[in-house]
Amino acid sequence: MKSMVFESSDYLPKEDMLKDLDQLTGGPDATAQCLDVLGTDVPLRDLLVHRYLENVWDSPGGPERVRSALLNTQQRLPVLEVALIATALMYGMWLQKTNGAKSIEEHREKKPDGTEIVDRKLTNYPFAHPLREFFRKFLDKGPG
């Protein structure tokens, strides 16, 4: 998305973009207020992004520009995003393998009439347990 915005604005520096926004909104205070709203109103921001992508898509050469921007974004994922994605994948694989079970106890009792009663007790890990342990091991900045 950022690469498309920069391309659409002819790679203007941030200061020049802010000047253009000031002219559109009526001044620096109005621009700051708009940016604050966009920073906190996620549905509004998503709507604006979708509308922008629709407008770019409908312009000449738009589909190729959108595809190119998405491919460039995929090639430049920040390290933190890659780490979070990898952690989520490991957690998903762990859940699939263990079904999130901390322990499974099974007690069988056979009755004199030949019937059998099976009691199973499943104890799951708390939801954040694997991530909590991951952050304790690898991100703890405490003494040590």
The alpha-carbon radius of gyration of the chain (Å, integer) is 27
Same domain, 68 and 88: no
Which among 11, 58, 96 is positioned nearest to 3, based on CA atoms?
A: 11
**For residue 79, what pLDDT is reported?**
67
Residue 108 pLDDT greater than 90, yes or no = yes
The DSSP line for 73-141 is HHHT--HHHHHHHHHHHHHHHHHHHHTTEEEEEEEEEE-TTS-EEEEEEEEEPPTTHHHHHHHHHHH--
Answer whether residue 10 is part of any domain. Answer: yes
pLDDT over threshold 60, residue 144: no
Q: Tell me which of 44, 75, 106 is where a domain ends.
A: 75
Output the average pLDDT for the chain.
Answer: 77
**What's the confidence (pLDDT) of residue 6?**
65
Same domain, 49 and 63: yes
**Boundary-marking domain end, from 75, 94, 120:** 75
Domain count, the chain: 2
| Model pLDDT for residues 18-65, shown as the tens digit of each residue | 888 888 888 889 888 888 888 888 888 888 888 887 888 888 888 888
pLDDT on residue 143: 44
The verdict on residue 144 lying in a domain is no
Which of helix, strand or coil describes residue 3?
A: helix
Give yes or no: residues 71 and 11 share one domain.
Answer: yes
Answer yes or no: do 135 and 86 share one domain.
Answer: yes
50 in a domain, yes or no? yes
Q: Are residues 70 and 83 in the same domain?
A: no
**pTM of the full predicted structure?**
0.43
Same domain, 62 and 114: no
- Domain residue limits at 94: 79-139
Most confident option among 2-16, 52-66, 74-88: 52-66
Same domain, 56 and 20: yes
